[in-house]
Structure 1
């Protein structure tokens, strides 16, 4: 502990400090430490005057109760199935105790930070205060530095931070401190190809329902996906009540003119939606429609084009998430130091029940080992709030199989080889989406360029009960294969999968082919949005957190993917990672959706015909 902190504590004890009882004052001790990931190096001292939006996660009062409610309303065999909690219900469960808030406020006041300078999440379980680095260093008894990533980008972080001992049980985490989590868009991490071929004939379902007549492995179109996954003749009925959303980060946005060109070619009846979908701007996120020549907006265009082509006329919201406040470059820093991911999460959790979308697709993630355990657990608990409120939250499972070649090394300084799981896919309260390719049959997505559907086992979160049976069956099939490189008792992912190879996309006005689980994720989200449409029309609640249903009953309405392997980590074993298998596997999950079977399994009864669709 620093000399300044010792003097402060001694002075308070000697004076009796009228602001709070003497026994509430305590010396500082390390609250959290985290190894600096291998891809980052300390480069320089942090600029003392740089402002950071510090977020303090105050311990939630009754998360265990929230988790119980989440599993009850998500279990298809429970009497409360589908009885999602309201915004008010969730807020009551997660708001901190008065004692916790009082102690945190007193600590901040001791450091010259008045409550008038604070802002709060809807439940007051997160407190935000903007401070220069030198004041945060004093507040947390730490030292920040500029860290440089191997790709040249930089950020300001510290490897450990401290709190007064009496606050350790009242504060879960404080960020940005020791988290090196960078939620990266998946599409731009891959080779993006300009399309130079001819698309398959755009025949209608009525002319030829045969997938092989419609689908081609290079240039997958909405008609192909709608036919393959059986939504082609479903007529949405609940667009006024049903909603879907996607999230953009790191300057990515969704170009309306590209989307219009795409829909005009592949889903002409939906083309006007290119100009009617809504942006929800968070902390000055980008909605720029300027044409750029870099890789920016490849992810954004892929997401919006896929979701509108599949889910139209379901209303779509695109969250445009920026840093807070807007980043101003200074000595040694080239990118936003703040945490836009938390900005998005807190914004969505504050939305009223009538505004909240029923599905959200996010095609961004990072290595789990870049995230301190305290931070990962708290973010995951916040995601559970969305599930309890009836939101299906989808994350892409990653594009490097079990880990990028040359990077499959633990983050603890030992240098031990390890498969590298991805977060937030490892959070047990979200649904992780893997990728397939080809058609008769579909197989695990893999390209010689290094792209491979991601999957594996968390090193932070234990295996949830809902997937216990399925995962144990898989582990039995592979025996001791690569057992030393992963945590067999961890939360396993992905949960399901969909096409994710050579998607037809329009970007910068040009036909482009994009691959990745970043394609699979919005595709699945839009299909589940149509499932919700049918449920609402049938007078039933929407799916919400679908994993308990998926592993208990829903898997029977999915096509099992039994060919292919995760690959990645060429330096480990045979470099093939986890193989697919009969039943669930950590490459394709339970498989790919069959829309008709899904809604029948959910008790929505109707018939299809080639003239009127579903009724």
Structure 2
């Protein structure tokens, strides 16, 4: 009898084990048209893998986020603490235990790092071991620009983990985080090249010139020129650098000396923090960096913010994780995508600046839904702590991140308006761009085809806070482009600011820059000044802007009704009365309007 029982138990165990450990495809993602496979990934290349676990009570966090961001709610401005956010998003014990049990078969437990809420587990493994962990095959893919990346179009998990793991990266994400300021123009001559700037107490007509836009012009245009910050330090502003971008202090010093001399000391005082070995380089650019224009984006962000919001302290984060990656001896680790690396670092900090400017976007279709959803949920955590997160809406109109970008869908190879991520995330504020002064119109520059971006997400549904405004807009524009976009998706941008011919100093010389990478740091600096006024009066900062903006804040913006988001061989979304998908609710109220 004992032999029969033992045999039965053994058979039962053998039957259960394959079902418990059976791998099933968790995610697939089509390789974008711009990439072609070159061959197998080097087996010893190291991958910094992040495993996202299902968050226990995210729905409750989202509910509280909308309450504390609604100006008519009794909880408005009652932002959550770091501990309160972590308590809401920590995974259930079952999820953590099951994922740990699986990982410990492949990874030494002491080499696994945990996020404060334990909703992300991060570790480093060679490609060969990651391939076994996920039953997949990594390859080297080459982008049309010549850069390479190590990714896989499909990965698997044991079936019993599918409901507990939300995302694992880097796997299927071909995100490139494109800076929205590559449309820059050289200016003949030296830094001393004469350009009209006008008196410091002048009118917009006296201090602004469309050929070269300065901090004095922007401060005058948007009515902040006479405001003196009262609580700098208590109130702060931040920017992000990805892809090896730089904030050069010597260039910033030259810029401030010329355009905001009282702020010149800030060039060497603003804080810089490296995340995952992000560069803090202050030496002269190499020939390769000069050819690539490295630092144009970073200098634009730092110089614009300091030029407008000084003496509000500035923090610059530099995050490694450049997706186009070729491992070498000096940098052997295939880093995670920069947004996830950055936001997970910031979420650990006790204090975070109240406004953060981000000048990077990517075509939403290059980002797997799981990755976009996880990153977006991390942004929600940051927003719930009273942080305003701003992203530029793109420089390619309705055609993607770049002027003249592709309008080809990865799904059906048909022409489609291409939405951008992270602007498509409902928990961030997207900033479009304008040009001209009286009146401002949706930005377009025929010299470089820069067109302010706008669109509708294919991933994220339209949030309630914008439903009425978007519905009115769709009624206005009719059915002309209806097959080309998702009417029910999160619509962007939410607002706009001037974005053409910004003056910057780069490599010691004057340059002019277009882009929503210009309008975004300008708008971040303006909100930083607004927060200063609020905090100095004992009120909370603005926090997540969108519910306030769509309900009441829109009254503080001037409607932009001309121009459109050109792209995909169409006129794109037009600017209209009220909210529109190229300038949002318009630009800040100013003496010019």
TM-score range, shorter-chain basis? over 0.9
Given candidates 16, 35, 39, the residue that maps to 2:34 is 39
Compared CA separation, residues 505 and 198, structure 1 to 2 (3 A): same
- Please report how far the alpha carbon of residue 178 of structure 1 lies from its aligned counterpart in structure 2 after TM superposition: 0.4
- The answer to whether the 8 Å contact 1:195/1:513 transfers is no
More deviation in 40-49 or 79-88?
40-49
Counterpart for residue 228 of structure 1: 221
By how many angstroms is 1:536 displaced? 0.3
Out of 352, 365, 374, the residue aligned to residue 378 of structure 1 is 374
Secondary structure at the aligned position of 1:303 is classed as helix
Give distance in 2, aligned partners of 1:79 and 1:417: 46
Q: Kindly indicate whether the alpha-carbon contact (under 8 Å) linking 1:153 and 1:335 is maintained by their aligned counterparts in 2.
A: no
User: How far apart are residue 563 of structure 1 and its match?
Assistant: 0.7
> What is the alpha-carbon distance in structure 1 between the residues aligned to residue 85 and residue 591 of structure 2?
33
CA distance in 2, matches of 1:13, 1:368: 50
Counterpart secondary structure, 1:577: strand
* Aligned counterpart in structure 2 of residue 579 of structure 1, from 568, 574, 577: 574
Q: Which residue of 1 aligns with 2:171?
A: 177
Please tell me whether residue 66 in structure 1 is matched to residue 55 in structure 2. no
- The one of 259, 282, 292 equivalent to 1:266 is 259
Q: 1:200 Cα shift?
A: 2.1
Q: What is the CA distance between 1:285 and its match in structure 2? A: 1.1
Deviations 1:146-202 (A, max 9, x none): 1111111110111111111110110001000001011111112x1332255632233
State how far apart, in whole Å, the 1-side matches of 2:332 and 2:563 are.
Answer: 40
Establish whether residue 216 from structure 1 lines up as the match of residue 215 from structure 2. no
The residue that corresponds to 1:405 in the other structure is 404
| Residue 596 (structure 1) shift | 9.7
2:463: which partner in 1? 464
- Alpha-carbon distance between aligned partners in 1 of 2:282 and 2:371, rounded to the nearest angstrom: 34
Per-residue CA deviations over 1:265-322 (Å, capped at 9, x if unaligned) read 1111111000100011111111111222330000000000000011101111000112
Q: Is the contact made by 2:47 and 2:333 (CA closer than 8 Å) also made in structure 1?
A: no
Change (3 A) 1:261 1:29: same
User: Which residue number in structure 2 is paired with residue 496 of structure 1?
Assistant: 495
CA deviation map 1:492-547 (0-9, x unaligned): 00000001100011111101101100001100001000000000011100000010
The 1:324–1:397 alpha-carbon spacing in structure 2 relative to 1, beyond 3 Å, is closer
User: Distance between the aligned counterparts of 2:551 and 2:37, measured in 1?
Assistant: 47
Distance change in 2, residues 1:151/1:77 (3 Å): same
With over 3 angstroms needed to count, the CA separation of the structure-2 counterparts of 1:24 and 1:516, relative to structure 1, is: same
TM superposition shift of 1:594: 2.4
User: What is the alpha-carbon distance in structure 2 between the residues aligned to residue 411 and residue 194 of structure 1?
Assistant: 39
Given that 1:402 and 1:578 are in contact with CA atoms closer than 8 Å, whether structure 2 keeps it comes out as yes
Q: Matched residue of 2:451: which SS?
A: coil
CA distance in 1, matches of 2:327, 2:101: 33
1:192 aligns to what SS in structure 2? strand
Partner of 2:511: 512
Contact 2:147–2:324, Cα closer than 8 Å, also in 1: no
**C-alpha separation between the residues in 1 aligned to 2:34 and 2:579?**
32
Tell me if the contact between 1:219 and 1:502 (Cα under 8 Å) persists in the aligned partners: yes
Question: In 2, are the aligned partners of 1:155 and 1:335 still within 8 Å (CA)?
Answer: no
- Residues 412-431 of structure 1 aligned to structure 2 (within 5 Å): 412=411, 414-431=412-429
Give the Å deviation of 1:334: 11
Report matched runs for 1:30-429 at 5 Å: 30-110=25-105, 112-188=106-182, 190-194=183-187, 198-205=194-201, 208=202, 210-292=203-285, 293-294=290-291, 295-323=293-321, 329-330=327-328, 338-352=336-350, 355-403=351-399, 404-405=403-404, 407-412=406-411, 414-429=412-427
CA distance in 2, matches of 1:470, 1:83: 26
Distance 1:406 1:58, change over 3 A: closer
**Secondary structure, aligned partner of 2:445:** coil
Counterparts in 2 of 1:244 and 1:201: CA distance versus 1, 3 Å: closer
C-alpha separation between the residues in 1 aligned to 2:355 and 2:211? 28
Stretches of structure 2 that go unaligned for 5 or more consecutive residues are: 1-8
> Is the CA contact (8 Å cut-off) linking 1:283 and 1:326 kept in structure 2?
no
In structure 2, distance between residues paired with 1:356 and 1:15? 54
Distance of 2:197 and 2:284 partners within structure 1: 30
C-alpha separation in 2, matches of 1:222 and 1:13: 77
| Contact in 2 for aligned 1:361/1:394 (Cα 8 Å) | yes
CA distance in 2, matches of 1:490, 1:334: 39
Shift of 1:218: 1.2
After superposition, the CA RMSD in angstroms is 2.2
Listed as ranges, the gaps of 5+ residues in structure 1 are 1-11, 598-615
CA distance in 1, matches of 2:379, 2:323: 24
SS of the equivalent of 2:274 reads strand
Residue of structure 1 equivalent to 2:5: none
Q: Check whether the contact 2:176–2:324 (CA below 8 A) recurs between aligned residues.
A: no
CA distance in 1, matches of 2:175, 2:524: 24
Cα offsets for 1:70-91 (capped at 9, x unmatched): 0000000000000000001000
Flag the 1:437–1:25 CA change in 2: closer, same or farther, 3 A. Answer: same
Give the match's secondary structure for 1:68.
helix
Q: Do 2:221 and 2:590's aligned partners in 1 also have CA atoms closer than 8 Å?
A: no
**Residues 36-86 of structure 1, C-alpha deviations (whole Å, 9 max, x = no match):** 111111111111111100100011100000000100000000000000000
CA distance in 1, matches of 2:348, 2:249: 27
Compute the TM-score of the two structures, normalised by the length of structure 2: 0.93
Q: In 2 relative to 1, CA 326–53 (structure 1 residues): closer, same or farther, beyond 3 Å?
A: farther
Shift of 1:566: 0.5
**Which segment drifts farther, 228-237 or 291-300?**
291-300
Question: Is contact 2:22–2:158 with CA below 8 Å preserved after alignment?
Answer: yes
